[in-house]
Structure 1
Amino acid sequence: MEEWPGSIYQISKQTKALITEEIGNYRTSILEKDGGRRRSSHRPEKILQHSCQMGGSDIEGRRKAVKEILGISCKLPVPTHPGEGLFMVPTTSIRKKECVWLNYQHFKTCQQQGSQAYITFWDGSGLFVDASATQVDAQIKRASQVIVQMNYGRLFD
C-alpha cells in the first residue's frame, strides 16, 4: 500500500521497520505489524522528523536529549514519540543507505547469518540487515538505556 500523495507516513505502534529502497518514486519501504508493507516517497529521515514533530518535538531536540543520556553522538536511537513507547533504532550509521530503522517495540532477537544479521520480530516475521548481530545488539542496548532514563520516574519511583 502506498501513501497518499503529499502526505508523510507517521510512525506508529504498527511500524516495525523503515528501509531505504529506491524504487521508482519511492524512497522508503515500511514494514508493519502482521505483514503489512507500505511505500513512501519520503526518505526515512523525513519520516522520522515528521513523526517526532507529531510526537511533540523536532528530531534535533530528540537527538540532543539522547546525546545527553548516552554521551555519544553517532548511531543514536530516536524517540519519535516516547510517551507512546515509540523508539526507532538505526542498525548502522544513518549516513549509509543500508541503514534500517527498527521499532524497538517489535524487535525480538538478532542472529548472525553470514555477513548479515537476521532480525526476528515478535510477530514471527524477520528481516536481513547489512550489519553484524553484535552491532545491532549494541544499538538495541543503547535504546534500552535511553528508554530507562526517559521513563525512570515511572519505572522506579
Structure 2
Amino acid sequence: MNQPLKNEYEVNEKTIALLALEEDGKIRTKVIEESLSFIVDRTPTKVIDASCRYFGSDLSGRISGTKAITNYTHKSPIVVSGMLKLYYFPTMSPSRVECSWISHNFVRHFSPSATDHRKTMVQFTNDVQEELVVSPGVFSNQLERTAQFRLMYEKRFLSSARHSFVSELSPSTPVR
C-alpha cells in the first residue's frame, strides 16, 4: 500500500471493520470506515483493546461483561462504547492474531464465498465487499449473538432508567 502506516487508532461511529491483514510476515489491521480505509500497524484485537481502554475499560473487562449478561464464553461480542452504540464481534477467537472484528451496525448482507465455502463474502452498508476467513455459519451465528447481546444490554439501561427514581413518602402517608 502507498499510504503510511498508522500506529494508533480508536474505533468510532464510522468504523465498519478491523480486518486482519498479513503484510511482510506481520499481522496488521485494515481499517474500513464509511468513506475510507487505511492500515494500522497493530493487530485488530490490539486495536479493539486500545479502543475499549479509550472508552474506560479493556477487552478483558468487556468480554467479562458480555459473559455476565449473556453467558457467552467463546468469541464473545462486545460493546466498545454503550453510549455510542459501538458493538463488535470477532470472526474467531480473539487470542488468534488473525482475528478480525466487525461492527454490528454496518453489515448489510453476507453469503458464502464463490471461491471457498469456508469463507464469507460480506457486503457492508457503504457497499464495500470483503471476503472474510470465517464460514458463513459462524458469521451468521456471531451476527445473531451480537444482536441478542445488544438487545439484552440496552434493555438493562431502559429498565434501570425506569427504576432509578425512588418516590418519597408524602407527609400525609402513614408509615407502618
> For the superposition of Structure 1 and Structure 2, which TM-score range results when normalised by the shorter chain?
0.7 to 0.9
Report which of the two has the higher share of helix.
1
Equivalent in the alignment of 2:31: 30
Equivalent in the alignment of 1:122: 125
Identical amino acids, percent of aligned pairs? 22
Equivalent in the alignment of 1:110: 110
> Structure 1 59/97 Cα, relative in aligned 2: closer, same or farther at 3 Å?
closer
C-alpha distance in structure 1 between counterparts of 2:150 and 2:4, whole Å: 31
| Unaligned 5+ runs, structure 1 | none
How do residues 132-151 of structure 1 correspond to structure 2 at under 5 angstroms? 132-151=135-154
Equivalent in the alignment of 2:72: 72
Rg larger for: 2
Deviates more, 1:83-92 or 1:22-31: 22-31
TM-score with structure 2 setting the length? 0.78
C-alpha distance in structure 1 between counterparts of 2:84 and 2:153, whole Å: 12
Residues 98 and 129, structure 1, Cα contact 8 Å, conserved in 2: no
Report which of the two has the higher share of strand.
1
TM-score with structure 1 setting the length? 0.86
Q: Deviations over 1:94-153 (max 9, x none)?
A: 244543211111111211124221111111111111122121111011111111111105
C-alpha distance in structure 1 between counterparts of 2:23 and 2:153, whole Å: 37
How many correspondences in the alignment?
154
Equivalent in the alignment of 1:11: 11
